[in-house]
Each structure stands twice: as structure tokens, then as C-alpha cells.
Chains A and B, each alone.
Chain A
């Protein structure tokens, strides 16, 4: 059941019913709470004063023009920005009530609970089996049987098991782009995270592979909280429950313009900038 928007010529097809029922997040269910979060690279502020609550077991999309700090914001949630010299945050991120950037918190533990799928598929130059088994291994899982089980279930849940079950010993890098990305999703799932962050996971893939991943996301939503950064508005509209719109300030810092249930944000945006963006007038 397609729904036309007010935008000129841009018909945006929305998932029927389910998306329309998304409501804003009641307080106890929030997985993440961001309070005045700013992300800095040295003296440069990439993301400014974000206030946001992310709900559990749903797909939240972060959209906006390029350069607005969407990836930076995403990477702040699993402390991947720690890897970049000079990167730091101000403000607060709480994850299930725990302050993520508290000094006692170990980023390694954070990343076992909050997994990530990257823009360009980056399977390890190892076998498919090794790719998926690496995460559980470093988390302390021993024993071939247990690992075999985890590998199979992860590859199944990533909807790629049938395609690779006979070649688990072949190189992960030999798969096609779409398959590599699903392998990366399996890899992320293997450590049984709570949240999966996806940084433009389909931008390097063809439309058919993209659609498969979107379908996969919809299935994964039942077990994981998913936050996806995407350049592709139609994808956000198709595939997410909540949408967050960022844009750039004069000082090149990204800030949150509007957030809300996807259907509502796309059909009835509250903010003029949001409306301009989703109707394709800029960005």
C-alpha cells in the first residue's frame, strides 16, 4: 500500500501498517540516551549537542546530507572514535542507564555488546569460518563444537548460510560485495550483541543486494536494536521505525533537527529543513 507524500514527484513507498504504528519511545525502554552529546576531533566539533533516546528492538535511521557527522555520531555509540587520535566527546551517552564514557568502562566490553557493520564490507582476509569465529574466540569461547554451532547460527541469521555452507573454508574476500556484507553482519551477530550499528551498509552494493540487506534488517529487528546511518532517504523511509535528521550548522557541526516515527517524519515533517531535505530540495 503505497502512500504519496506532498513532495513533488518523489513518491516514497512506505511499509504498510507496521511503520505507522511506531510511537515515540517511553522512558524505561530506551537503549541509548544521549544528553547534549558533542563529538570532537581535536578542536573541531563534528557533532553538536545531540539529545536523543533510542528505543529497543527497533530500527532507527540517521539521515542527513554528507558531512553532517552522522557516521561520527554512530561511531560514538560503540566508542569506535576512540581509535582516532584527538577524538573525544562532551555531554553524556548512557547505555541501559550506564554511562558509556565513564573512565571505568572498557571499550572492549562496549564493543562486544554494540556491534558494527561498516560502509565498505571489510571481511578479514581469512576463511569464512574464521571470520565469524573470530569474535566469539576473542570473547573466550573455546571448543570446536561450540564454535561450529555459533558460526552456523550466525550465518543462518544473516541469511547467507545456504550460499556458503559448502565453502566455509574458502576466503571471505572471495565473495561478492553483497555476500561479503552479509558475512560481516554474521560476524557482528556472532558475539551476540545487544545493538547493531550500521554505517551506510548498502552504499557500496547494488540495488538487489541492498534490498536483501534491508529485508534482513527487518528480520534482525526482532532480536537486536538497530541504528543505521544512511544517505539514501528512500531506504530510511522503507526500512526504519524511527528517523533522526541531522544537518550542518554554520560552523560545520552537525546538529539534530528533528526526530520521530518514520512515517510521520516523511509525510508530515515539523521542521522546514526536514521538509526541504526529504522532498529533495537540498542534500
Chain B
């Protein structure tokens, strides 16, 4: 039955048709599963573009440069949202870039195995905290203790508080990608530097960091992308529930693209008001999607560059 120590005839090596069919079916099932990723991408694009076009084709373009984003009143100043997003993301990057990179350099170049075992979980724990919890933290701790003193005790809600919260949120991401990149720098480069009599600070800053620069850039871009896409922290602490004026002062409340979308959905149980309020939701979503997609693709190019360089 199995094997057959005797010579097989020409039929024997063909195998069972049933078995081959079964294998092909199984393969097809798995391939379909993989195909869902394309399906989902298409659905995202389709749902966004459809409604976004409905918005663009009907909107009075003058409202797009009106003063402030007040969708229920028919004012769709995109610049308000974009500036809000940029201010908060910028503050976030100002927080996360130094913190994340410093943590990465320390973990990669300085930390003994024992210290690593202590500090890496700390970063990973922070990474596991949901953004809604960080939003609460920003409101309950960061706003009163840091922002309000700095801004002269304005409102509790401000872009600055949101920016700080976002910065804390993305620090672990920046740190982990940057640390990966630095870790991937071959030992031989470090040995060459130490062999010449350089110390750790010079070696880290002048040899390892430049060698890992593509990965570090990737880390920063990924962090930025995440910051731009962040919703809950902003929705809780940046204020601007119904809409907002254009402003770039971090002490004031502001509105990002992401929070604008939630505001549209939470104002009441349905999105009502100006008829175009609903499609405007998707229009903003499309802009957000395109921006983060572009950033992610660019970041991937950088990641590939450092992976290849090994």
C-alpha cells in the first residue's frame, strides 16, 4: 500500500485526484482570506470617495474658506481643522521625538540587560494604555498641572493639553522603531569606533545614530502619522465640541480632523443640521486617510532602506 518496494507502473505516480482537489480547495480558501485585505481597502476607498464627492460636488466652495469649522451651520473651513491637527501633532512630536529617541539610544547603547528588563516593559506598558485613558489623564493631570499655569489658567480644554497627551501616546512607538533601527547597526561599526578610543557618547551620536538614520526617520514619520490620526485624546481635552474658530494658539481649544468627525457623530444621535454635515464627515475622512497613507508609505521606504543596508 504505502511505498511499494516493487517497481510502480506508469499509473502509480499520479496520485489521487481527490487528494489533489482537496488540496486545491484548501489553497483557494486561504487565498480568499488573503483577498479580503484588498476587499477592505477597496471598501474604505469606495465609502470615503462616494460621500466625499457628494460633499464636494454640492458644497458652496466659499464656505471652504469661511471663518471656522461649524458644519451644522454650513461653514466648512478646512484650514481650521488642518491647523488644529498640525498644532497638536507638532506639540506631540516636540514631546515624543526627544523622549522617544533618547529612550531608544539608552536602551540600545547603554542599558545593561538588567536595566533593559526593567525599562523596556515600562515603555511597553505605556504602549498598551488605551488612548481614551490618556485623554482622561490629559484632562485630569496634564491640563491643570502643566498647561494652565503656562497659559494663565484659561479653560481646561486646550490644544496644548491635547498635544502633550498625543506626545505621550506616540513616544513608545517612536522609541521602539528607532531602537530597532539602532539595534540593527552591526556590532562591527561600534567596535571600530571604540577601537579608535571613542567613548559611548561619541559612538552613539556620531556612529550609531547616523548609521540608523533611515530607521530613525521612519520612526518619526510613523509617530507623526499616528499623531495625526489620533482621535480620543483630542476629543476629550482639546475642546471645540460643536465647531471651532481658526486659531494656532495652543492655549486655546481647537479642532482636528479626527475630532471633527467624532463631534459630527456625537452631537446627537444622528448627524443633523446642515444637509451637507454628513457628507462633510467623509470628506474630512478622505483627507485624513490620504495624508496618513502617504506618510506610512514614505516611512516604509525608509524602513526598507535601513533593512537593506544590513
Chain A residues engaging chain B, CB cutoff 8 angstroms: 95-98, 100, 102, 104-106, 108-110, 112-113, 135-136, 139-141, 191-194, 223-224
Task: Contact check, B3 vs A98: say whether CB atoms are below 8 A apart.
Answer: no
Interchain CB contact under 8 A, B4 and A192: yes
- Closest Cβ neighbor of B20 among chain A residues: A106
Question: Which of A105, A139, A141, A191 has a CB less than 8 Å from the CB of B14?
Answer: A105
Residues of B in contact (CB 8 Å), total 16
Residue of B nearest to A190 (CB): B2
Known: A106-B13, A106-B20, A109-B14. A139 touches B7 (CB 8 A): no
Chain B residues whose CB sits within 8 angstroms of the CB of A135 once the complex forms: 2
In the docked arrangement, what's the CA distance between A193 and B4, Å?
6
**Could you list some 8 contacts between A and B, CB below 8 A?**
A97-B10, A98-B9, A105-B14, A108-B15, A110-B13, A113-B13, A140-B1, A141-B1
- Check A104–B1 contact: CB distance below 8 A: no
How many Cβ-Cβ contacts under 8 Å join chain A to chain B?
58
| B12 interface contact, C-beta 8 A | yes
A108 to B4, CA, bound (A): 14
Main secondary structure of the interface of B (DSSP, over half): loop
Contacts of A136 in B (CB 8 A): 2
When distances are taken between beta carbons in the complex, the residues of chain B under 8 Å from A105 are 13-15
17 new A-B contacts, CB < 8 A, other than A97-B10, A98-B13, are: A98-B8, A100-B13, A102-B13, A105-B13, A105-B15, A106-B13, A108-B19, A109-B12, A109-B13, A110-B13, A113-B8, A113-B13, A139-B2, A139-B3, A140-B2, A141-B1, A194-B4
The 8 closest A-B pairs by CB, nearest first: A106-B15, A192-B3, A96-B7, A139-B2, A109-B15, A105-B13, A193-B3, A109-B13
Residues of A within 8 A of B10 (CB): 97-98
Residues in B with CB closer than 8 Å to A97 are 7, 10
Would you call A192 and B13 a contact (CB within 8 A)?
no
A95, A98, A140, most chain B CB atoms within 10 A: A98
B149 within 8 A of A: no
Query: B152 in the interface, Cβ–Cβ < 8 Å?
Result: no
Smallest Cβ distance from B141 to chain A, in angstroms? Answer: 49
- Taking CB atoms, residues of chain B closer than 8 Å to A106 are 13-15, 20
| C-alpha spacing A194/B8, complex, angstroms | 10
B128 contacts partner chain A, Cβ-Cβ < 8 Å: no
CA distance A269 to B72 in the complex (A): 95
Check A194 against B5 for contact (C-beta < 8 Å). yes
Tell me the complex Cα distance, A224–B6, Å: 10
Q: Is the CB of B4 within 8 A of A113?
A: yes
Closest to B3 in A: A192
How many Å from the CB of B217 to the closest CB on chain A?
32
Min CB gap B10→A, angstroms: 5
Min Cβ gap A187→B in Å is 13
Residues on B with beta carbons closer than 8 Å to the beta carbon of A191: 2-3
CB-nearest residue of chain B to A113 = B3
Q: Are B1 and A139 in contact (CB under 8 A)?
A: yes
- State the CA gap A194–B9 with chains docked (Å): 14
Which B residues between 1 and 40 are near A, CB-CB below 8 angstroms?
1-10, 12-15, 19-20
> Are A192 and B2 CB-contacts (below 8 A) given A96-B8, A113-B8?
yes
Do A192 and B7 form a contact, CB below 8 Å, given A104-B14, A106-B20, A109-B13? no
